[in-house]
Amino acid sequence: MAEKTEKEKPTSSPENLTCPLCLDIFDEATILTSCGHTFCRKCLKNYDLSHQDLDHMICPLCREVTKLSANRVDDFLANVTVNGLVDDYHAKCGGMNAILEMRPKCTACKRQEVAVSFCTTCNGYLCEQCLTGHQNMSLTFEAHEIVSIQDIISGKVSIGHLSEKCCIHKQENKDMFCEDCKVHVCFKCVIVGHQNHKIKNQADFEQELRLKVNDLVQRCATKKSELEKNIQNVEVQRHEVYTIVQKLLDDVSKAYSIKAKELEENHRNLIEQINAVKRGFEDDLTVLKSKDRQKIKSICSSITLVANDRLGRLETDSLSAHTLLCEELDAMLKEVTDHTSAAAITKKAQEKRFKPADDTRLNLGSILGTDPKLQVIQCVDLRGMMYGMTQYSDDSVAIGYWNAHGIDIIDSAGNKHQYANVSSNMTCPDLVFQQDRSLCISTGSKEAHIYSPNGSRKSTIHVKDNNFSLRLNRSPSDEILIANNEKKVYIYDQTGSTLKHTIPTKKQQYERGICYQVRFDCYESM
């Protein structure tokens, strides 16, 4: 059949030396090591421009992956065999005398005489006799345009891309396209070897590809415009972020101006935090802008490969490559443009606030919305095994001991004294002070006692024994919260006399908290 005959052509024929991407004779034929397919090096470089974010190259024909080195396409190996065949082809058929050296034969008769002219209307070569007949038969050939072979050779006339003749039916043009076999055929080949196949004429095939490419070109322009507008929006958001950050700097500087010189170290720390915030937002915005620019670059590179002026000659590998490139470009154009991330970064910047320190603290303040840096300011040795801890005042905590040492009060300066309103040998697995300074103490796994500020016991809370010491806390409304390793939390009123709620939970509510410690570390936010 036609296909078989084409495969039996010499390997140095132009068809076998054509790059699937540009449809021209190979220029620096370069091989993809993973699959062995060959392309022009410049075509691979153009293809790579639209995939700069990848560390590998996907073959446009078979989708096999070839790893890229630091120099990317420049490190790919040349296909020495193909380059040699290209050199032979150019030596035999290249240059200005290519047509003369090939000495095309007349296609209008069967004598196989050397052609002296070419009829652009018939799309065929003419020998001397056929030329005479062509010129004398005015009724049939009067409007035909004939050019001499010498004018073609000298470059005075260009006959463009000639319709390929069928290699089996020599006089027939391959002016049809078989979609099943993805090859161009003549009408006789259709009858002989492509019956029941889906056939299109050449004009419809080329028009379909042209419409597809035109649509991609138009969508590329629209997408490029959309991305450019989004880049402008990123710059607007960047300006707003800078304005917000500058206001933070101004607030810090104003607070610093009314503080003493010993606050300079704190001032430096705040500036560093703000600069870190600024760098973070700037990096985020730069990434957004870079992604949009890369998409524009990828789209432009892809459409350069897709919008080839030889669409009508696409078939087999070249058509497959073109189809895959179109699919990739279509997927790129369908990607949703990120219109929200820049504004989200601005909103995040707006959440940053400068909180001045109160007049009693020797620093400027802090930046709200950033993670605080903690530093140890005091280390206090304890009298025994710490098992419970709760806030006693704004500047101190109360420590309860497991092994009968009562309760200690420790402030941020490291000062320690024993709480005098309860027994010094009381076991205190957990404790919590209420708003009126009443003290609730866990005594084990069954009971919790509530003491008034003067030390007298006000009430006792009884809880079902679960072999775990009761853990205590209080709500903002001063209710007492109790957990004992069951999947529930008990809520009592502030007197401890009434169980108001039992809240079921998914997990057992018993956190041992800070326990088994014999040293207390006090931290301060920097």
pLDDT tens, 174-209? Answer: 888 998 988 888 888 888 889 889 998 888 888 888
Q: What number is the average pLDDT over the span 62-72?
A: 89
Which of residues 173 and 99 earns the better pLDDT score?
173
Candidates 441, 447, 429; CA nearest to 511 is: 429
Instruction: Based on the fold, state whether residues 266 and 399 are members of the same structural domain.
Output: no
Mutual angle of helices 264-306 and 316-334, in 10-degree steps: 140
Most confident stretch, 94-98, 119-123, 348-352? 348-352
pLDDT per residue as tens digits for the range 427-469: 888 999 999 999 999 988 889 999 999 889 999 999 887 778 8
- The confidence band for 2, taking pLDDT boundaries of 50, 70 and 90, is very low
In-domain check, residue 449:
yes
Q: What number is the average pLDDT over the span 377-395?
A: 87
pLDDT score at 164: 63
Task: Read off the tokens for 306.
Answer: 């897709």
In-domain check, residue 262:
yes
Q: What number is the average pLDDT over the span 100-112?
A: 73
Q: What number is the average pLDDT over the span 468-492?
A: 89
Q: Is 384 exposed, middle or buried (0-12, 13-18, 19+ CB in 10 A)?
A: middle
In-domain check, residue 167:
no
Q: Are 408 and 385 in contact (CB under 8 A)?
A: no
Q: What is the CATH number of the domain that holds 377?
A: 2.130.10.10
In-domain check, residue 334:
yes
Which of residues 287 and 89 earns the better pLDDT score?
287
pTM score over 0.85: no
pLDDT score at 241: 93
Instruction: Based on the fold, state whether residues 229 and 87 are members of the same structural domain.
Output: no
Instruction: Based on the fold, state whether residues 223 and 352 are members of the same structural domain.
Output: yes
pLDDT score at 21: 84
Domain count, the chain: 3
- How many CB atoms sit inside 10 A of residue 178's CB? 21
Residue 84, domain extent: 1-96
pLDDT score at 425: 83
Which of residues 495 and 167 earns the better pLDDT score?
495
Task: Read off the tokens for 215.
Answer: 């649509």
Instruction: Based on the fold, state whether residues 519 and 393 are members of the same structural domain.
Output: yes
Q: What number is the average pLDDT over the span 404-424?
A: 87
Q: Are 305 and 217 in contact (CB under 8 A)?
A: no
Angle, CA of 308, 311 and 313, to the nearest 5°: 125
Q: Is the pLDDT of residue 165 over 70?
A: no
Most confident stretch, 136-150, 234-248, 392-406? 234-248
H or E stretch covering 120: none
- Report the distance separating Cα 283 and Cα 188, nearest Å: 64
Instruction: Based on the fold, state whether residues 385 and 433 are members of the same structural domain.
Output: yes
- The confidence band for 403, taking pLDDT boundaries of 50, 70 and 90, is confident
Q: Is 374 left (phi over 0), alpha (psi -120 to 50) or beta?
A: beta
pLDDT per residue as tens digits for the range 266-282: 778 888 888 988 998 89
CB within 8 Å of 456: residues ≥ 6 apart: none
- The confidence band for 40, taking pLDDT boundaries of 50, 70 and 90, is very high
pLDDT score at 39: 92
Q: What number is the average pLDDT over the span 386-400?
A: 90
In-domain check, residue 152:
no
Q: What is the CATH number of the domain that holds 22?
A: 3.30.40.10
Q: What number is the average pLDDT over the span 303-317?
A: 79
Q: What number is the average pLDDT over the span 90-102?
A: 50
- The confidence band for 97, taking pLDDT boundaries of 50, 70 and 90, is very low
DSSP string, 148-190: EHHHHHHTS----SPPPBPSSSTTSB--EEETTTTEEE-HHHH
Candidates 280, 253, 277; CA nearest to 267 is: 253
Which of residues 262 and 408 earns the better pLDDT score?
408
Instruction: Based on the fold, state whether residues 391 and 460 are members of the same structural domain.
Output: yes
Q: Is the pLDDT of residue 517 over 50?
A: no
pLDDT score at 372: 67
Which of residues 445 and 371 earns the better pLDDT score?
445
Which of residues 101 and 307 earns the better pLDDT score?
307
- Report the distance separating Cα 317 and Cα 321, nearest Å: 6
DSSP string, 358-421: PTTSSS-EEEETSPPPEEEEEEEEEEEEEEEEEEEETTEEEEEESSS--EEEEETT--EEE-TT
Of 88-97, 148-157, 231-240, 385-394, minimum mean pLDDT range: 88-97
- Report the distance separating Cα 402 and Cα 250, nearest Å: 51
In the chain, the amino acid numbered 103 is R
Q: Is the pLDDT of residue 245 over 50?
A: yes
Instruction: Based on the fold, state whether residues 470 and 383 are members of the same structural domain.
Output: yes
Residue where one domain finishes, among candidates 73, 96, 119:
96
In-domain check, residue 131:
no
H or E stretch covering 526: none
Q: Is the pLDDT of residue 370 over 90?
A: no
Backbone angles phi, psi at 442, to 5 degrees: -80, 130
Looking at the chain, the whole-number percentage of residues with pLDDT higher than 70 is: 85
Q: What number is the average pLDDT over the span 298-325?
A: 82
Question: Taking all residues of the chain, what is their mean pLDDT, rounded to a whole number?
Answer: 82
In-domain check, residue 180:
no
H or E stretch covering 288: helix 264-306
Instruction: Based on the fold, state whether residues 387 and 290 are members of the same structural domain.
Output: no
Q: Is the pLDDT of residue 1 over 60?
A: no
In-domain check, residue 270:
yes
